[in-house]
Chain A
Amino acid sequence: MSNPEGTAPVLLRGLAALLAAALGAAIAWALVTLPPSSGLRDAVAAQIPASGVAHPVTAVLLNFRGYDTLLEVAVLLLALIATWSLRLARPPAGRNSPGLVLQDLVRLLVPLLIVLAGYLLWLGAHAPGGAFQAGALLAGAGVLLTLVEGRPLGPLAPAVLRGLAALGVAVFLAVALLVMGGGRLLEYPRGQAGLLILLIEAASTVSIGLALAYLFRGDEPAPPEHRR
């Protein structure tokens, strides 16, 4: 850490490499010597009919372990709030004007990405897909819009943006609390699990997409007169 290139001394780097190699070897050994097991696959497969969805991953994420997913969506919201609190962040697009090709490409791609996000969201009930993947597509659209317009959702008021960012956690929590009649959080009533999961996933998709897109942009949405 003293030489001009800003790198650590050779001895320290060698030690770090040795430790990393030892850790890697230990993990590989643990993996190879794992006893053969199907894990929880059979238990999940047995409960699929009661979960409201047909795809085991979605059943685990939104039903059996819905609590984990709720916390994941909340963590993403917290990250966004923390980023918005760092007022020094400036938009990466700056003043470089996007070319005509990029503008036209974005005009074609963004509607397509939105449709695809809806498709993935719907598909999540019985095939690989779901809220995070759909949200990532929406965020991709948001990043493209940021590159062209400077912000993902320019015309919307900041209060609306903040509401949309919190929508996923809000709907998730509301559903979790409303179905608490049986005494436990997120224990869906029989027969309505599919609908409730779709509702949660739809709200989460919007919030995840918005959060990821605004993490790329980096600063808080503020009305134009307050900026600069």
Chain B
Amino acid sequence: MDAAGSLTLGIIDGLIALAIIALAFGATAMRDLFAGVVLFIAMGLFMALAWVRLDAPDLALAEAGIGAGLAGALLLAAVRRLAGPAHPEGIGDDEQP
């Protein structure tokens, strides 16, 4: 690969690494749980890109599907349940089991 190509790839790799760190910090530092989960999902997608760049497409598929997609959906569902009956949109069940 020529020098310009590898320089571009190096810049892309650096940006992916920076994005992962920034998103991870944001996901843990967010006051709003919903926003934190959204940042976590975004971090998972960047992680998948990082695995692709590390020549591990198997892990990339699993990370995008399970790490970002399903774990994100699980966390969103958990946030919605945490909001409880008082949630303004009434998404959670407000009846007792």
**Are the C-beta atoms of B65 and A96 separated by less than 8 Å?**
no
B: number of interface residues (CB 8 Å): 21
**Are the C-beta atoms of A90 and B97 separated by less than 8 Å?**
yes
Q: Number of A-B pairs whose CB atoms are under 8 Å? A: 61
Contact with B62, one of A94, A132, A143, A215 (Cβ below 8 angstroms): A132
**Are the C-beta atoms of A140 and B77 separated by less than 8 Å?**
no
CB contact list, B45-65 vs A, under 8 A: 57-58, 60-62, 65
Contact with B61, one of A89, A128, A140, A215 (Cβ below 8 angstroms): A128
Q: Is B92 an interface residue (CB 8 A)?
A: yes
Q: Is A212 an interface residue (CB 8 A)?
A: yes
Main secondary structure of the interface of B (DSSP, over half): helix
Contact with B70, one of A57, A89, A212 (Cβ below 8 angstroms): A212
Alpha-carbon distance between A130 and B57 when the two chains are bound, in angstroms = 12
Rounded to whole Å, the gap between the CB of B17 and the closest CB of chain A is: 12
A57-B58, A143-B70, A215-B74 known; A133+B93 contact, CB < 8 A:
no
A to B CB contacts below 8 Å, 26 in the list: A57-B58, A87-B97, A89-B81, A90-B92, A90-B93, A92-B80, A92-B81, A92-B92, A94-B92, A95-B90, A96-B89, A96-B91, A120-B61, A128-B60, A129-B61, A132-B62, A133-B62, A133-B65, A136-B61, A136-B65, A136-B66, A140-B70, A143-B70, A212-B70, A215-B74, A218-B81
